Structure 1
């Protein structure tokens, strides 16, 4: 017999909805009662539907929450609660309790967070959950165990229901809300992105916000209106999008001192109900009570404790470590010696560093934790500095003792995002010597990468998420021990009583996750090979590139900022001249008046309030139609973006210790295996405009050195030739023909020597467009022909290269049959929407299925090339270092007299990174700056 579901009621949501949706009721004395009656009716109905279920009715507590600390404007536009609603809260709470329902209010979080925590906990125990709410935010909680019901409308929503309503899966709802925002809560989102665009973006990249930002280059190819202008808009509002993501995320780890047993329905309190119903003048319910018992019996009933005493909120302490775990904080030499012996004898151990921050190039080491077997771990504090801290072991003595173990390649280690710890230890400056750190060797596993390789889209790959998913364990979060917002402590300020168990748990969970994840990977040899042959060897390579950094000419960037500023002023003047008056270029209202009322431009789209839209995609479409002012506005926005994101920002990101910029590379973000970077994001520096290329000119070689850029030529097309086995395409590459010219000759039926530049450009659009699933309409628009002509070109292409069409059809079928596609090296990308009954979702998944093997194989090849080049540089001892990786390109800093030798070797190692049926061509450029070398 199946368990009765846990029923969680969003009391605050229903209070608001009942107040605004139901007819107002008042007592004879003028007391408003309509919302109370509406909510109680709903609760009574739920009780009849689920008579055997435990319940919790959850309301927002008074005061602010962590979201207000995160974003001062959170819910700022929501009008203050009407007095007629406020006076109903207390009698409603009292009535809920008197009916026997457990009532919860927890300070510092919203009702959604309490519901999310209880729902996830119950679902983890395989108990079904019903969440009664009217809020769309809750859709993010829906899974195989959790269903939403709207008791007022009688509707329900499971996983398929969420997909049908919102166009995205429940796990994408947070990303969906982050993109489109939520006006009711004043979550900003990305301006101009509505529900359809948000769902289209997420479906198009087959992932969430992180995957979207890692794949902005494919956004213009997606079947979304205004897709061309979306990358710039998304990049401009990236910070706000990720803030919105945090604001929209329902917490599922709120510390609660209650369990399922505490949520069992209690007995009704007839005396209290009679008192409340009399106050509220609910005469029919009073009559019901009269029929159940005599009035004198009701009057004699004992009154319960006031509502505020039941489940009253209190300060919560951080969750304790699991009772079975043996964690210790090492403060004396004897215990440290014991652990040194354990580490020396261990076949494999997990380690983790605690630091003062998350910038691996500037954060300071605070302590280290280790685990040698499950549920046994230790933390060695080194530099905690709060008042009253116990005496710690000498930092340099500990590091020198650990150095031989950590640097021994034969002592195998596992970390969670081990690259960060490697950089911290490399920069730890033992004895104050910046040149004496710890070069960690022997990283055999990384749980973040194990999860990523196992399934790049199944979950986030941070330790807390992985522990919850694979170990059913809720870890102690950093906020639990450090606090939140401006008052958050750095780790060196946290008391050892809290810091020790937290840090030891990190190492313990890392080891336990590895034991679970690698067993799963080992069952799929191709995935285990991707981990051990590609991802793990790349970790130290990326760590070295990050530490090396790149020189940037801050003075040149300053000059460019001034020039961009001047161009923006000139464009502003031009806009004023066209408009015939001055106006605020950033004001949608003023812009709308100028564009539509004064200039009479066509209205292509309206806002939710019915006003003509001035969103970026609208301006882009108007600019495409040769309207002068939208063109000027778009150019102004482009200049503004370059200035704020690059020329103004890059000088601020120069590390004061090294004088270089140190980006961070991410292996476990893009679902296809591609690397991404941040702080700064070097993958998105524009190269198609003169202004964008000038930014690359600021990346310079130091005196006596040159920058060398080695780039794979048309690698994805070469991979397409290999995968499709199309003889025509393979012959073009084998004969070292210009593939775009060769394609033009085939499509336009002319000799190679007769191909014009326009024909080659059209062929190039076809070659690359087909990889991304471009249709005839989009192709026609790109190359300036009608849709019928573009379709004829595509048909001719497939007739000349039939293997490409066969590959596409074969890949679609394989994806539908097995639910995933693979790269040349066996990396998998799972496609949950490949068999969707919604044509748009299925089509997007099919496009991804065709493109992912090429994009993923290209990513794997450049990763293998990076490892090969790094190994060669290390063995050769030459004065040359890789300083940047961007897409299919490696950038090296090379001593001038070694340029020819390094160029030759780089070509060799990169071209041999994979054995395809067509050659890999590597183009090498050299210059004093990145733009010259590219």
Structure 2
């Protein structure tokens, strides 16, 4: 549900969307002029008071590509701009960085800029981007967040990247940051007061802020990539694609562009006369349904799979390699549930579902004398559900290390656990995960290709076996209907305005999101806590091991050979004890020369 962004009718009331708690009630409303007066200074000594709020002025690109222009400060109703050249020579600024407790906007971004341009990284006390996002988790991009914070921008943030409008020029970025910094200076205290009122102090100061420093160091580290291996995979896949095309052309009786939906539709629906829906769609899910009708479909699906891997990972990753490494960016403010996402390149969607996608992991390697260590939590969301619902039957299974899908299958099919077969376990697994995602009877019947009656029976049996889960789901929906939001164990909120929608389908979506967000969000909070604790444990003991990546529930480290055993023991202990729950936490850890072997 993380990625199901729900689009409202444009006219919908914005406030409803962000469940606005007007931050301005406590403050006198500052009327912000469209263009804020900006003065250029050549030393921060020219400011009357020693500043604590500062925002870098830079192009908004991936951190390795960013250009830093200077630094923006605020005094009274004006913005003050210290250009890069002047900053580098300003003794007052250089000393200030060493002692300031800085408030900024997008701390991680600022750390990269300080580092790349040779400045001391100051102590960062507050990041108003992280704080604002925690208050308005629906606002997953800059424009939405500034709108939620009631800060009018000089121009829409998303337009800044448009080359046709001038791209990230110093002038445009200066005006943009000036338009942000003055209202932020006024709103800082009310933003932080709201964090406290909503019980998010621990989440903000204990998790998100410290995590941004760790993510900064992970991004800086990067991960080694074996370009020869990538090329080897590319050639192998290219041959497979060529062979598939031959077969596809022979079925069609002529060559055509398989990648063109239009040409593909002509071949399938006009020439081969396969039955078509209203839309003549050639989307993968539609093709899946035509599998039985013609052998060409299998070949096309296979071709599309390779083609996607090729464009996304093989060609796609190539352009991100700098000096033999890939440096991804981790985003803390992109998913409403609180999971991290990764971009430029996105490493979180490297498929583990099929062998072909997994193959790509062989190109992510440890240097000579080092190993990659992969640690991931087993069934973290089901454990979270068992704990939050206080479901004794499930807690008991986890405590005795009984396979939870087998346990559920034995309940669903009324057989003893050792009589459960693969097929029954697979159904139980689908039902277990379906429950986490708030799946309906209809959804379950679709997924399992069974009748709604059967799906209903499965769900009834499930809730009878795990009565507290049923109660928990009902209470969560009730809470959501009353408050318009749900929250995780650490009080991370997700506003769900859909829960009050008049449209039945929209309301149902809201219910599913309400059931899923506390579980997925609490699991995300746990992973973040585990990252902080393992990072601190490794560093405080002086190891040379580095944390490199976080991919969903998996953490990846690079360790010198002689540290591998000790690190595995340390990570195991730290992850298993990261949070005290009613269920045991269990991390599975393995290592290897590359990511494929380490998984």
| TM-score for both structures, normalised by structure 2 | 0.89
Tell me the distance in 2 between the aligned counterparts of 1:555 and 1:782.
40
- Is 2:271 the counterpart of 1:606? no
CA deviation profile, 1:159-181 (whole Å, cap 9, x unmatched) = 9xxxxxxxxx8x9xxxxxxxxxx
Query: Partner of 1:632 in structure 2?
Result: 299
Paired position in structure 2 for 1:804: 469
Q: Deviation digits for residues 671-708 of structure 1, max 9, x if unmatched? A: 11111111011111111111100111111001111000
Does the CA contact (< 8 Å) of 2:44 and 2:93 recur in 1?
no
Question: How many residues are treated as equivalent by the alignment?
Answer: 580
In structure 2, do the counterparts of structure 1 residues 501 and 770 end up closer, same or farther at CA, with 3 Å as the change threshold? Answer: closer
Asked if structure 1 preserves the Cα contact closer than 8 Å seen for 2:490 and 2:525, the reply is yes
Name the SS for the 1:907 alignment partner. Answer: helix
Alignment partner of 1:573 out of 236, 242, 246: 246
The 5 Å alignment of 1:206-605 reads 320-321=35-36, 327-331=38-42, 335-339=43-47, 342-343=49-50, 349-355=52-58, 358-371=61-74, 374-383=76-85, 393=86, 396-398=88-90, 401-408=92-99, 411-429=100-118, 437-441=119-123, 443-457=124-138, 459=139, 462=142, 466-471=145-150, 473-475=152-154, 485-486=163-164, 488=166, 491=169, 494=171, 503-524=177-198, 526-603=199-276, 605=277
Maintained 8 Å contact 1:707/1:891: yes
Over residues 426-483 of structure 1, what are the superposed CA-to-partner deviations in whole Å (9 max), with x where a residue is unaligned?
1213xxxxxxx42332x222121112111211x4552x65555435544366899x89
Q: Structure 1, unaligned stretches of length 5 or more?
A: 1-136, 146-158, 160-168, 172-205, 207-317, 384-392, 430-436
Measure, in 2, the Cα distance between the counterparts of 1:502 and 1:721: 47
Deviations 1:762-783 (A, max 9, x none): 2111111111123445435544
| 1:750/1:715 CA distance change after superposition, 3 Å | same
Measure how far apart 1:757 and its partner are: 1.9
Mapped to 2, the partners of 1:726 and 1:779 lie a distance apart of 22
2:541 aligned with 1:868, yes or no?
A: no
The structural deviation recorded for 1:617 is 3.1
Aligned to 1:931, the other structure's residue is in SS state: coil
- In 2 relative to 1, CA 439–477 (structure 1 residues): closer, same or farther, beyond 3 Å? same
Structure 2 distance, partners of 1:888, 1:407, is 36
CA distance in 2, matches of 1:407, 1:670: 34
1:831 counterpart = 2:490: no
Structure 1 residue 872: Cα displacement: 1.7
Alpha-carbon distance between aligned partners in 2 of 1:768 and 1:353, rounded to the nearest angstrom: 44
- The corresponding residue for 2:27 is none
SS in structure 2 of the partner of residue 719 of structure 1 = helix
- Please state whether the residue corresponding to 2:296 is helix, strand or coil: helix
The residue number in structure 2 matching 1:907 is 572
> Matches of 1:138 and 1:720 in 2, distance apart?
30
Aligned partners of 1:882 and 1:891 also within 8 Å: yes
Task: Give 1:722 shift.
Answer: 0.7
Q: Residue in 2 aligned with 1:751?
A: 416
Indicate the structure (1 or 2) with the bigger Cα radius of gyration: 1
**Shift in Å at residue 342 of structure 1?**
3.6
Measured in 2, the distance between the counterparts of 1:141 and 1:780 equals 35
Cα offsets for 1:221-253 (capped at 9, x unmatched): xxxxxxxxxxxxxxxxxxxxxxxxxxxxxxxxx
Aligned residue for 2:10, secondary structure, equals helix
> Residues 487 and 511 from structure 1, CA distance in 2 versus in 1: closer, same or farther, beyond 3 angstroms?
closer
Q: How big is the shift at 1:887?
A: 0.6
CA deviation string 1:817-852 (max 9, x = no partner):
121111111111111111222221111111111111
Aligned mates of 1:593, 1:461 — CA distance in 2: 39
Asked whether the 8 Å contact 1:467–1:474 carries over to 2, the reply is yes
Q: Is the 1:707–1:892 contact (alpha carbons within 8 Å) kept by the matching residues of 2?
A: yes
Aligned 8 A contact 1:467 1:509 in 2: no
Which SS does the other structure have where 1:648 is aligned? helix
> How far apart in 1 are the matches of 2:491 and 2:500?
22
Tell me if structure 2 keeps the 8 A contact 1:546–1:664: yes
Work out the CA distance in 1 between the residues paired with 2:147 and 2:439. Answer: 40
Change in CA separation of 1:719 and 1:645 when aligned onto 2, cut-off 3 Å: same
Q: 1:460 to 1:580 in 2, by over 3 A?
A: closer
How far apart are 1:854 and its partner, in Å? 0.4
What secondary structure, in the 3-state scheme, does the structure 2 residue paired with 1:925 have?
Answer: strand
In the alignment, the residues of structure 1 paired with residue 158 and residue 547 of structure 2 have an alpha-carbon distance, to the nearest angstrom, of 37
Is contact 2:153–2:176 with CA below 8 Å preserved after alignment? no
Query: C-alpha distance in 1, partners of 2:274/2:146?
Result: 55
**In structure 2, what is the Cα distance between the partners aligned to 1:421 and 1:518?**
20
* Equivalent pair of 2:60/2:161 in contact (CA under 8 Å): no
Cross-structure match for 2:393: 728
Counterparts of 2:342 and 2:523, CA distance in 1: 17
Question: Is 1:677–2:342 an aligned residue pair?
Answer: yes
DSSP-derived class of the 2:364 partner: coil
Determine if contact 1:467/1:513 at 8 Å carries over to the other structure: no
Q: SS at 2:258's partner residue?
A: coil
2:353 is matched with: 688
Deviation at residue 790 of structure 1 after TM alignment: 3.6
SS in 1 for 2:319: helix
**Aligned partners of 2:507, 2:158: CA distance in 1, in Å?**
40
Residues of 1 paired with 2:98 and 2:555: CA distance?
Answer: 27
Q: Which has the higher contact order (CA 8 A, sep 6+)?
A: 2
**Cα distance in 2 for residues equivalent to 1:750 and 1:478:** 58
Q: Distance in 1 between matches of 2:394 and 2:516?
A: 17
SS of 2:559's equivalent in the other structure is: strand
Cα 1:850–1:503 change in 2 (3 A) is closer
Counterpart in the other structure of 1:898: 563
Pick from 567, 571, 585 the counterpart of residue 920 of structure 1.
585
SS in 2 for 1:894: strand
- For 2:352, what is the secondary structure of its paired residue? coil
The residue number in structure 2 matching 1:60 is none
Unmatched segments (≥5 aa) in structure 2: 1-6, 20-32
Which residue in 1 is equivalent to 2:28? Answer: none
How far is 1:924 from its partner? 0.6
Q: Pairwise CA RMSD of aligned residues? A: 2.9
Would the aligned equivalents of 1:476 and 1:502 in 2 still touch at CA under 8 Å? yes
Within 2, Cα distance between the matches of 1:694 and 1:631? 21
Alpha-carbon distance in structure 2 between the residues aligned to 1:661 and 1:714: 29
Tell me the distance in 1 between the aligned counterparts of 2:476 and 2:485: 10
CA distance 1:374–1:827, shift in 2 (3 Å): farther
1:870-907 residue CA offsets vs partner (Å, 9 max, x unmatched) = 22222122011111011111100111111111111112
